[in-house]
Structure 1
């Protein structure tokens, strides 16, 4: 990770391009780039006073842990960016999960503070952690109004410092916290900038939950001076309606694609402004990819990643999907990512024609699992993250995904669940 660039630097870059330009749009309300920066800095300053993050160490610090439980809203974006800017650790708490699950995650994460919208309070319950309502016009505003104009202290940002703890479900109803360092978030950010080349005229649609991979698109678009439209309640019809309007860039998880395809007839010409429709993080099955490309056109691209290596392990652009046959591959490794195939005898291969379990290395790979050193060791082979996916490399170095390496019911010899791409809570 470059020491010259910090995770939230795009906030200042966007404001410097045009401070008055829209940054966030929600239900017809608009927040400018300058006002967004001011509110993020005010909340970051408050978090530093309340939580005392202190100086980061050079290697792998885990600072105060702040959960956010909210739907897609301006305040959700402000909260996440302020946590990063304060030098704390963001813990996404998905409001679509029930209170029993979320209380378990809050205990495992050992949260210092929970920032929550009133509508999401039933998803958490009471008494499990100190909580602050972040709705506009509510409890947080009393503090923010006194802090407007304050700037947070600059906390040195080490590449290995943990900036996010994200949970996945594993067999037997248990949960595992993934430790994602600054290098991971910045690596994904830089890759998305290269892949989609956002510009000041872009209007990005944030319809997928911000507690999931959609959050990675926030800063690349803001840094280019573009804006995000937030959909608080995003059904298929509402998403399609938004895509038909001024939206130029959108990200959707694969589960949403068949729902959109089932929402009446539409064709590529229905989306005149749309430049990029990115689908991730696991790629699309061949048949579904073919139907999606027919309906959305060559603007459709796919991203491959997993919770432990988010979103940009490999990518396949719309033109390449047309050349190779939709869904035939998930594309070549993204810059900063390395892919190899692990054979049963432990040999790693990277040449065309190699077949085996897909393993990944690079900046976007997790630091490990929260309070789980044995499981962390088992998730790696000679420094490569094991994905549990069977794959092959074609003649161009594109990754082709096959069947699971082993069934979800099986375990490896070390007892670690073999299906590492298990059900994801905040993936």
Structure 2
């Protein structure tokens, strides 16, 4: 992987962008710096180039602070203040909904300033709110992050446009706090220092449903990650978001210091750094690197995986029984809606009676919440039809199998006549 990443950097080395010269500290950055990092969902990070170079997070902080606001205030409260529609405008434009006065989304400045005001508990102090932001970003990165005070001072001295945006939101009654203080703290948020390893770990935490794969700390609940990733996919790359989604297909966010962070759900977090920006405010070389990674590694969100084996093995046994008064279904793979529907369809063919029905989950790798509810509903109906139910579930992939109406199937590690696949799995049916 490091060799491949070095190859990608070499292929994308040509640079035709410009530094963010409207912020003096950013204008002084070394324009030739170039780095990339990938973090897998089991916590392995690969990096190449100037991976130790640190820079300010800038607008890449927006999705993470949006996540903190969702966690602290809930979805409904955040949606009252900030929408989720792509603006089609540059990041620093006035983009307010005509009917509500809400900023169109949290990934543009006017929305991010508003989102900052929603972090923390209602009534918290300015200092408490910023500490929640800093510690939250640190939890995503897996290490303590600090503010670059020089960049903060430089940006604060050139924050007139953001001040105008904050006063505009205030005039529509969306925020009640002092706009000047809010912009100051939003600017401090953007001045937190990271490197590409930090950003790839932060992205991997989003891709992993809120669980930091390196530290094992749960930073967010999965529903928050789903909301953030959805908004990133449609709004994260500003007025280039449509082109990005079609060509790269990874929910992402860029920053004017030259960073790009991308999170592909269930697969990987990635980050790039190159300070020169294109006309949309995104890193020129960073965009090309992400395009190359997506193409080479099949990382496009809309790429369909190869069709896997059926979730059911030996369905003939399920319908006909195996000659000893038992109907057995062997399940495999991940049980989501589509797989669970297939299981229910087969279970529905079993006539009412007292035949023992065995559902073998020993080959199942994962059961999501929808799949769990559907399988348990099938168990409940079979039980009401008179069938005793046994689950073979050595790894407890179907936790708390309470099907309702007092139905709770017997759970065993293996059946008595099965050779154990693992020496530790020695439990048998109590009636054996």
TM-score by structure 1 length?
0.25
> Higher Cα Rg: structure 1 or 2?
2
Which has a greater percent of strand?
1
Which has a greater percent of helix?
2
TM-score by structure 2 length?
0.25
